[in-house]
Amino acid sequence: MNIFSILYKYSYLLFIYSCKGNKTILKISQNQQANFVKIAEQILLRKEKVEDTSLLEQEIDKMVYELNGLNEEEIRIFISSQQLYMSK
What is the gyration radius of the CA atoms in the chain, in angstroms? 13
Q: Kindly list the domain boundaries of the chain, sorted by start residue.
A: 3-87
List helix spans (H) across 1-88: 3-9, 11-19, 30-48, 54-68, 72-87
Within a 10 A sphere around the Cβ of 53, how many other Cβ atoms?
20
Mean pLDDT within 46-54: 92
Report the predicted TM-score, pTM, of the whole model to 2 decimal places: 0.65
| pLDDT digit string, tens, across residues 5-41 | 555 555 555 555 555 555 555 677 888 888 888 888 8
Instruction: Give me the amino acid identity at 64.
Output: V
